[in-house]
Amino acid sequence: MRSYDIGSRVAMAEIVPPSVKELGRVRDRLSFVYVERCVLHRDSNAITATDQQGTVHIPAAMVGALLIGPGVRASHAAVALLGSCGVTVAWIGEGAVRCYATGRPLARSSRMLEAQARAFSNQSERLRVARQMYELRFPGEDVSGLTMQQLRGREGARVRALYRNESARTGVEWDRRDFDPTAFDAGDDINRALSAANACLYGTVTAVINALGMTPGLGFVHVGNTQSFTYDVADLVKAETSIPAAFDAVALADGQPDRTVRALLRDRLVRAGVMDRLVKILQLLFLEASEVEDEPEYFYNDELSLWSGRGEQRLPSGENHWERFS
């Protein structure tokens, strides 16, 4: 065992972590990869997943979220690679996300995080963001003068209609959304499929949020949870991704809707270009139009500064400012 440990350390030392510009952009990555009952290790800059059927290589720099199901063991080398590549890791059990972990964000700048925090802490800006989110979900509706209570009322009616329409389209019986995280198997097929699909979608959305350097905890519609912003952003695309994928999975009647739905959801995420769209949406929500670029330079700017105490003025770090202000 000792010789193996030494060899592992030598091998790890010879592998140079990829630079941020060598990593796949979040919009170009696979939305998510789900693994269960396997051993995760590292082979160069790929994650290997090994089970009784063999070994699969997963290019870490091209994955947005790695969803880990039951029976998975991961080596230190594998986790280190996932962290250096900015991959969000979500542990999933019984249809729900139990825990998130993420490496260093792909964005080296805190620009998007600061913009999110400013909007969150200003009531009028917070309402503006919430209204824009509703406009993105329900295009063609004028919500400029609506309060949050009125927005929630409209949302409830539209979402109920969406479930009814999906039921009519697929022939899957629908009563109501009923999810108990402590008794996943007690739900009917459609509710289990919806929970499984949403868990995968939340992992993908969290990967986008983390990649941009933002925080999942500062929500504008949902509040009080460390994943509030994840739920806000996921709601923007549920109507075209997780909800129809869940109804399609149950309609196939293969006896495993919570498994089938993952493949159907991944196809929908790819066809709709969801990761690319979410990056653009978040930029438009929190940045000035002139700042929205395909690959903005600030994304890679990790220059550390000091706040001057005056507005947005900043001072260079690593210097002694005693003479300047004494």
pLDDT, averaged per 10 consecutive residues of the chain (326 residues), comes to: 38 50 63 89 92 92 86 92 86 66 73 93 94 91 88 89 96 87 74 91 91 92 92 96 97 86 93 90 86 56 58 57 53
* Domain made up of 111-287: CATH architecture: Up-down Bundle (1.20)
- Delimit the CATH 3.100.10.20 region(s) of the chain: 14-102
- Please give the CATH topology (third level) of the domain spanning 14-102: Ribosomal Protein L15; Chain: K; domain 2 (3.100.10)
Q: What pLDDT was estimated at residue 6?
A: 35
Q: Which residues contact 126 (CB under 8 A, 6 or more apart)?
A: 119, 120, 220
Q: What pLDDT sits at residue 109?
A: 78
- What's the pLDDT score for residue 159? 92
What are the start and end residues of each CATH 1.20.120.920 domain in the chain?
A: 111-287
